[in-house]
Amino acid sequence: MKLTIKDNQPFKICQLTDIHIGDFPLNAADQKTLNSLDKFLAAHSFDLIMITGDLIWGKLASNPVKSLGALFEVLNKYPIPVAITYGNHDAEGQFSRKDLRRIEERLKYPADKHHSQVVNDRESYALEVYDGDALRHVLYVWDSGAYSHWPDDEQYAAIESEQINWFLQLPYNRDQDDLDLGFLHIPFPEYNSAKLTILDGVQNEAVSSPETNSGLFYALKRQENVKAVFAGHDHDNNFVGSLRNLQLIYGNVTGYNTYGALPRGAREIDITPDSINTNILLFDEINSL
C-alpha cells in the first residue's frame, strides 16, 4: 500500500515492538496480547503500523506460519499499511529471515517497500510517504540482525557496513531541511550516550547495543535528514533520548509473553514536515473500558 498524508494531517505511525508470540496453540499471555492489540487498533486511527522486531519466539514457535498467522489475522482486520523488520529472536528456530519474509505475503495491507537490499539475510528498505504527488518523508528500515560475528567478544550484531552504504547511496537527495525517520530492532551504541539526556520515558535496564560501532549514527549525522530513530529490544526501556540533535527513541514493549515490568502498549509517532510528536499509548487504557 502507498503511504499517504490525509487532508494536511500529521502522518500517524504506530510502533509495535517485542510482541513475542510463542508456539501454537497460543498460551494465555499470547491471547492477551492479540486481544489487547485488536481492541487497541479498533480504538485508534493510524496511517502505518511499524513493527520493530521480535514478533515471535523463534525457538519456541515450531510453526511460525501459524504463530505469525495469528498476529496477521488481527492486523488484517484493519486497512492500515504494515511494515516489519526483525529482531534477534525471530529466526532462532528452524525458519530463516527469508522464510519469515515469505510469510509476510499473508499480510492483507503490506506497506510498499522501496530500494530493498538484503545482506546476510537482513533486509533494509525505505518507505515513502506522499502528500499528493510530493514525497514528504522517507522512513528507513534496517534489519539489525541477531548475534555478533564474534560471539566470544560481544553478544549482539552491529549494522553491516553494506547497510550503511545502502542508506548513503539512496537516490533521494534528502538533507537537513527534510524530516525523515529510521527504524530498527537493536539500538546502536550511541543510545548509551542518549540515555544521559532523556526527554521522556524511562530507562529501567541497560542499553543492550552491540559493542562494535559500525558507524550508522555518523552516517545519519552526515545526511542530516533523519531526525529520530526508533528501536525495540530492551523491554524495560521506553525513553526518548537526544544526542547532537538526533532523537534516539525506544518503542514500548507490546507482548505479554515475555519479560518486562512496563505496561504493554505501543508508541504513537506523529510527523509533519517540521515536527515530531510521540507518546506511549497503553493497552490498559483500552482494556479497562
The pLDDT value given to residue 285: 85
**At which residue does the C-alpha cell 534516539 appear?**
248
Instruction: Kindly indicate the confidence band of residue 288, based on its pLDDT and cuts at 50, 70 and 90.
Output: low
| Higher per-residue pLDDT: 210 or 8 | 210
What whole-number distance in Å separates Cα of residue 214 and Cα of residue 61?
A: 32
Could you give the 3-state DSSP secondary structure of residue 6?
coil
Is residue 28's pLDDT more than 90? yes
The pLDDT value given to residue 150: 82
**pLDDT tens digits along 158-210:** 999 999 999 999 999 999 999 999 999 999 999 999 999 999 999 999 999 99
The pLDDT value given to residue 289: 60
Is residue 19's pLDDT more than 90? yes
Mean pLDDT of 217-236: 98
Mean pLDDT of 53-82: 97
Instruction: Kindly indicate the confidence band of residue 95, based on its pLDDT and cuts at 50, 70 and 90.
Output: very high
One-character DSSP codes across 180-201:
EEEE-SSPPTTHHHHTTSEEES
Q: Where are the beta strands (DSSP E) in the chain?
A: 3-4, 11-16, 48-52, 82-85, 114-119, 122-131, 134-142, 180-183, 198-200, 226-231, 240-243, 246-250, 265-272, 275-282
**pLDDT tens digits along 257-286:** 999 999 999 999 999 999 999 999 999 988
Identify the domain containing residue 181 by its residue range. 3-287
Number of domains in the chain: 1
Length of the chain (residues): 289
Give pTM, 2 decimals.
0.97
Mean pLDDT of 108-114: 99
Return the CATH number at 156: 3.60.21.10
